[in-house]
Structures are given as C-alpha cells and as structure tokens.
Amino acid sequence: RQPRGAAVVTLAMAAGPPPPLEPRALPAFSEEGFGEKFLRKTRENPLVPLGCLCTAGILTYGLISFKRGNTRRSQLMMRARILAQGFTFAALLGGMVVTALKSRQ
C-alpha cells in the first residue's frame, strides 16, 4: 500500500512522452446519390430488382382481375405473387451471403 500523495511511475512514463502522431490522410469518398447507389446495387445483385418488378406486375394483374370479377385468375395471381416474393427474398439473402463471403477474402 502506498502512502498518500505518492506518485506512481510506470515504465511508459519513465521513458518520456510518446512521439507526436502524424495525421494520416483519409481516403476521399465522393457523395453517392440515389441513382448511382441504385445502379451499383442493381449491378451487384440484379435478381432483387427483377423479383420486385415481377412481384409488382403479378400483384397489379391480380388486382385488375379481381376488379373485373375474374376471381379464379385473381386467386391464381395472388398465389403467384407469394412465389415471386419468395424468389425476391431468396435473391436478397443470396446476395447478402455472396457479399459477406467476398468481404472475408
């Protein structure tokens, strides 16, 4: 136990102050707008936007069929929409896995 007021001197303090750190130049990043980011992400994983378009198209056709009174076609399109959503979700997960594997290498 040390008496009150006693200073603790470590080896790091005995060696003197550390040398001043030189600031490192930060990498320059350009601002990426919505359009550029959308195109980049589409190029990275083109199946996701394709699945979204298919889902929207099938949903629209199903709603038109429902409005016209064609219930059989409407129900078929709602089931097809679920499949298209599943495809989109699988494409999204697959893209995430591929991106994670690429970042590890």
What is each CA distance from 6 to 2, 3, 16, 52, in whole angstroms? Answer: 7, 6, 19, 70
In a domain, 28, yes or no: no
Q: Which residues of 10-29 are buried (b: 16+ CB within 10 A; e: fewer)?
A: eeeeeeeeeeeeeeeeeeee
Confirm whether 67 is domain-assigned. yes
pLDDT of residue 20 exceeding 80, the answer is no
Asked if the structure places residue 21 within a domain, the reply is: no
Mean pLDDT estimate for the chain: 85
Range of the domain at 69: 46-104
Instruction: Please tell me the distance from the alpha carbon of residue 51 to that of residue 34, in angstroms, as a whole number.
Output: 20
Q: How many domains does the chain have?
A: 1
Alpha helices in the chain (DSSP H): 11-14, 34-44, 47-68, 71-104
Is the pLDDT at 26 greater than 90? The verdict is: no
Tell me if 71 is assigned to some domain.
yes
pTM score: 0.64
